């Protein structure tokens, strides 16, 4: 795929449609006056993500009612460089307070791991059928959620899958016509717990191998909270930008190594997210990348990266958002053109 005309400068460009991060983790999401959400969207656009679905669960708090939703929206007013969609978190006490209006205003319901089973069941019963349900449950908690999804005939998207067992469970469920989809954090595909002893958010090398062997079962690649947690647990600087700019360079390098096709990437960062989350597709929006030019990994963000002092074979050249260049050769343009698309829902024919 790479031109061989000039070995030293051999590279190519490729254009993706605007990409989706379906699990953006924003630590200060509902902290009053936090700039974390604004920073997350700057990092997103710089990384080719023109839409970020924001995980409604932050550090020690979450969007779980109207006041917390309004706080996140107020933080979004600071500056939104990409489109964002906000969800709401299921708790054991908020099933009755999620009224029709609140349901209509958010993109999805997030069911965190360790939600009591009876609460999970209550939320499955009352959440509107046409709106996505997302969970980060793992192990037997994941099995519980999948059973309840099956019993309530509901779709469910599993975010941050990182073990072989969970992937098998999802794969078996898909085989039984259970309407389940899943994403894997991009860092889980490239770093292991063995490489970062004492950290808890990466797969083991054996689990990572299983992820690569079962790529067909993985619908979406996400950023998620893994990069943030990895940085924190490693005692490094972490922020809402952690891991975002690493995403495409890692995936494009894997392409140059023959481990992924460009279609694999587009399907999991654009086609499937649009479908699963019923997000309106963005017109006049695309991402130009450079592939095959080996360069030191560079980023705008100041926070720590596992790619520091590493060479990668892919980078973002330009991001065009609604017809305007918003990122070019490392520079982010100041205009914040993003919108809150939480309430939009577009049924894409499958």
For binding to a copy of itself (CB under 8 A), which residues are involved?
117-118, 121, 139-141, 143-144, 146-148, 150-151, 165, 168-169, 172-173, 175-176
Q: In the bound complex, what is the minimum distance in angstroms from residue 145's beta carbon to a copy of itself?
A: 8
Would you say 61 or 144 has its CB closer to a copy of itself?
Answer: 144
Gap between the Cα atoms of 216 and 135, Å rounded: 20
Q: Shortest gap between Cβ of 235 and a copy of itself (angstroms)?
A: 32
Sign of CA dihedral 100, 137, 223, 130: negative
Among a copy of itself, Zn ion, none, partner that 141 touches (CB below 5 to 8 angstroms by kind) = a copy of itself
Helix (H) / strand (E) containing 228: helix 226-233
Q: How far is it, in rounded angstroms, from Cα 135 to Cα 209?
A: 23
243 token code pair:
């891991």
- Taking the C-alpha atoms of residue 138 and residue 156, their distance in angstroms, rounded to an integer, is 13
187 binds, among Zn ion, a copy of itself, none (CB under 5 to 8 A by kind): none
146 binds, among Zn ion, a copy of itself, none (CB under 5 to 8 A by kind): a copy of itself
Name the binder of 331 from Zn ion, a copy of itself, none, CB < 5-8 A by kind.
none
Tokens representing 11 are: 């590279």
Q: Which is nearer to Zn ion, 152 or 286 (CB)?
A: 286
Give the binding site for Zn ion (CB under 5 A): 14, 17, 281, 288, 329
CB nearer to a copy of itself: give 61 or 119: 119
For residue 118, the partner it binds in Zn ion, a copy of itself, none, with Cβ less than 5 to 8 A by kind, is a copy of itself
Supply the minimum distance, in Å, between the C-beta of residue 136 and a copy of itself.
14
Of residues 140 and 331, the one with the C-beta less far from a copy of itself: 140
Burial class of 33 by CB neighbour count within 10 A (0 to 12, 13 to 18, 19+) = exposed
The distance of closest approach from Cβ of residue 272 to a copy of itself in the complex, given in angstroms and rounded to an integer, is: 23
Closest distance of CB 295 from Zn ion, Å: 13
Q: How far is the CB of 180 from a copy of itself (least distance, A)?
A: 11
139 binds, among Zn ion, a copy of itself, none (CB under 5 to 8 A by kind): a copy of itself
Given the complex with a copy of itself, which of 147 and 262 has the nearer CB atom? 147
Dist CA 50 CA 218 (whole Å): 21
Question: Whole-number minimum distance, CB 204 to a copy of itself, in Å?
Answer: 13
Cβ 16 vs Cβ 265: under 8 Å: yes
Beta-sheet strands, E only, within the chain: 12-17, 19-24, 49-54, 83-86, 88-89, 109-111, 133-135, 156-158, 180-185, 220-222, 286-296, 311-321, 324-328, 331-332
How far is 36 from 27, CA to CA, in rounded Å? 7
What distance in Å separates the CA atoms of residue 245 and residue 268, rounded to the nearest whole number? Answer: 17
Closer residue to a copy of itself in complex, CB, 145/287: 145
């Amino acid at each position: 795929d790479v031109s061989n005309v000039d070995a030293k400068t051999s590279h190519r460009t490729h254009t993706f449609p605007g990409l989706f991060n379906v699990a953006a983790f924003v630590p200060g999401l509902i902290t009053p006056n936090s700039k974390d959400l604004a920073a997350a969207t700057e990092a997103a656009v710089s990384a080719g993500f023109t839409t970020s679905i924001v995980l409604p669960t932050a550090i020690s708090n979450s969007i779980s009612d109207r006041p917390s939703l309004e706080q996140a929206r107020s933080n979004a007013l600071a500056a939104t460089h990409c489109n964002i969609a906000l969800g709401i978190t299921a708790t054991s006490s908020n099933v009755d307070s999620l009224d029709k209006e609140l349901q209509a205003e958010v993109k999805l319901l997030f069911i965190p791991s360790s939600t009591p089973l009876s609460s999970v069941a209550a939320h499955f019963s009352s959440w509107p059928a046409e709106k996505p349900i997302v969970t980060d449950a793992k192990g037997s908690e994941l099995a519980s959620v999948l059973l309840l999804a099956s019993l309530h005939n509901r779709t469910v998207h599993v975010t941050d899958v990182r073990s072989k067992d969970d992937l098998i469970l999802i794969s078996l469920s898909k085989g039984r016509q259970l309407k389940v989809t899943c994403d894997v954090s991009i860092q889980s595909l490239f770093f292991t717990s063995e490489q970062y002893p004492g950290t808890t958010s990466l797969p083991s090398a054996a689990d990572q191998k299983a992820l690569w062997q079962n790529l067909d079962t993985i619908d979406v690649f996400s950023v998620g909270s893994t990069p943030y947690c990895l940085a924190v647990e490693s005692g490094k600087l972490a922020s809402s930008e952690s891991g975002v700019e690493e995403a495409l360079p890692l995936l494009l390098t894997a392409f140059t190594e023959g481990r992924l096709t460009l279609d694999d990437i587009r399907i999991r960062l654009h086609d499937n997210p649009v479908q699963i989350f019923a997000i309106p597709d963005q017109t006049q929006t695309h991402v130009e990348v450079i592939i095959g030019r080996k360069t030191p990994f560079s980023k705008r963000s100041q926070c720590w990266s596992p790619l520091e002092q590493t060479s990668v074979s892919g980078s973002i050249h330009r991001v065009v958002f609604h017809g305007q260049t918003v990122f070019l050769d490392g520079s982010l343009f100041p205009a914040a053109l993003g919108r809150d698309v939480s309430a939009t829902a577009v049924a894409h024919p499958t």
